[in-house]
Amino acid sequence: MSRWLGVSVVLLCTLLALALVGAMLVLPDAPVRLPGEVAQRLGESGVDHAVTAVLLNFRGYDTLLEVAVLLLALLGMLAAGVAPLRPAPFAADPLLVALARTLAPLMVLVAGYLLWAGAFRPGGAFQAGAVLAAAGVLLRLAGFLPAWNAPALHLRVLLAAGFALFLLVAAAGLYFGAMLRYPQPGAGALILAIETGLTLSLGLILAGLFLAGPETPRARGGA
Amino acid sequence: MNAFDMLLALALLLTAWRALAASDLFKGSVLFIVFGLLMAIAWARLTAPDIALAEAAIGAGLTGALLLDAVGHLRVGRRPRAQGSTEDGA
Amino acid sequence: MSIGLFYALVGGLLFALGVGGLILRPHLLSKILAFNILGSGAFLVLVGLGQRDGTPDPVPQAMVLTGIVVAVAATALALALARRLLDLSGDMVLPGEKAADEAEAGDQEAAPGDGPRGGA
């Protein structure tokens, strides 16, 4: 890239920044007040935490499709056939091993707490899944977990379980009335069930983004 | 908005810029992890604890692990070729 | 200026910074980094503008929460594709940008501090 092209790109980006800042400063107030609306209907949602209510009830449709996107991303990664990263058996730092041994169970505990807390305070399936995935990454780095390029059947079932459960609930709602409209007395229990499935699947999918790959045919072919 | 927010905003912009401008990709990735952690604090300042939790675990942790992994792969993957080519002048 | 608007403005600047990095940096890993910074800027704008009046708004917060998770999935997929490109072409640079930035690639090659992982 020539110098002049670079300078013009920098200039254009500066203009973009100025335009964005200017637009935000003169933006008129929003005609609807979403926080008020959410607070008003929170009682019907089945949970007491507004963000969880939006995620799994008011805007459940977005969340459903978003989980599908995550699953697709992992499938795309597996399909791309990631090449080996490092030789399969590697000697992990003993300190890291000890740390992973201590931390991993605690992280699973924290994930369980976040899942349960999501109903009435900050927390929920996404954060819990993220913590589970972090535990998976830690265990992989310490050498406890094998890498997987072609997940076995039980792993595949678990990867898809959260999405499948969510889809099932959504479809059942379609049969009884409207999609993703939960029955009034059981909304809280249904949301908790969906969140539990999502936590497991999201944890596995997110960990899979890191675990997928390393031991591929090239590594074995070389041995 | 107070002095802390000003400092945090400056730190965010600075780490983002340095992460992009770093010629060493390892350095860039580490700076991006720092950026992710600063973002988590920014979310907390915006009274969005849910996002702060997710950002700390995902934005800083998982993305960082993925990026560092890719940098490691890059170094291992490039070595055989570097011997055969004159590009790097090594 | 409310704290929401302030961080929205910071998000706008981060967005522009990310766009610049995305165009100017030739290495795909840098482009992925830039894409993530650009995304973080967009998230800040979404949440910040949503609570300009000072009251936290759960709707953009929930959207951004899922957005962060999707962003990491997209990053992982992009990194997988970039690695595939590295295996196939020997470099992590898009074909059109290869010739112009050899000097920069040389810098990275010469970078010190090769991790312990590289020695295995």
**Structure confidence by residue, pLDDT tens digits, C38-81:** 999 999 999 999 888 888 889 999 999 999 999 999 999 999 88
pTM above 0.95, yes or no: no
DSSP labels, C47-110: HHHHTTTSS--HHHHHHHHHHHHHHHHHHHHHHHHHHHHHHHHSSSB-GGGTGGGHHHHHHHHH
Q: Could you give the CA distance from residue B57 to residue B40 in angstroms, rounded to a whole number?
A: 9
Burial B53-79 (b: 16+ CB within 10 A, else e): bbbbbbbbbbbbbbbbbbbbbbbbbbe
Q: Does B58 touch chain A (CB under 8 A)?
A: yes
Q: How far is CA A28 from CA A21, A24, A80, C56, C86, in A?
A: 14, 9, 46, 18, 48
Beta-bridge mates of residue A212: A148
Q: How far is A122 from chain B (nearest CA, A)?
A: 5
Residue C81 exposed, middle or buried by CB count within 10 Å (0-12, 13-18, 19+): middle
Q: pLDDT of A22-52, one tens digit each?
A: 999 998 887 888 888 888 888 888 888 888 8
Q: Could you give the CA distance from residue C72 to residue A66 in angstroms, rounded to a whole number?
A: 12
Q: Which domain holds residue B32?
A: 8-78
Describe the crossing of helices C3-24 and B3-21 by its angle, rounded to 10 degrees. Answer: 10
Beta-bridge mates of residue A148: A212
Cβ count near A170 (within 10 Å): 18
Is position B89 within any domain?
no
Is position B86 within any domain?
no
Q: Which of A14, A77, A85 is the mutation pick for testing B, counting most B CBs within 10 A?
A: A85
Residue B32 exposed, middle or buried by CB count within 10 Å (0-12, 13-18, 19+): buried
At A89, the pLDDT band (50, 70, 90 cuts) reads low
Question: Quick one: average pLDDT of B44-68?
Answer: 90
Is position B17 within any domain?
yes
Q: Which of A61, A121, A209 is the mutation pick for testing C, counting most C CBs within 10 A?
A: A209
Is position B33 within any domain?
yes
Q: How many domains are contained in chain B? A: 1
Written as one letter, the residue type at A82 is V
At A90, the pLDDT band (50, 70, 90 cuts) reads low
Which other chains touch chain C, taking contact as 3+ CB pairs less than 8 Å apart?
A, B
Q: Do A66 and C15 touch (CB under 8 A)?
A: no
Nearest CB to A34: which of C26, C57, C101? C57
> Looking at domain C3-91, which of 3.30.70.260, 3.40.50.1000, 3.40.50.720, 1.10.287.3510 is its CATH number?
1.10.287.3510
Give the lowest-confidence range in A95-104, A111-120, C99-108: C99-108
At C98, the pLDDT band (50, 70, 90 cuts) reads low
Question: Quick one: average pLDDT of A171-186?
Answer: 79
pLDDT at C30: 93
Cβ count near C24 (within 10 Å): 18
At A131, the pLDDT band (50, 70, 90 cuts) reads very high
Written as one letter, the residue type at A41 is R
Place of tokens 């049969």: A175
Q: pLDDT of C15-28, one tens digit each?
A: 999 999 999 988 99
What are the tokens at A170? Answer: 């959504």
Give the lowest-confidence range in A17-21, A80-84, A214-218, C18-22: A214-218
Q: Do C3 and B46 touch (CB under 8 A)?
A: yes
Q: Where are the domains of chain C?
A: 3-91
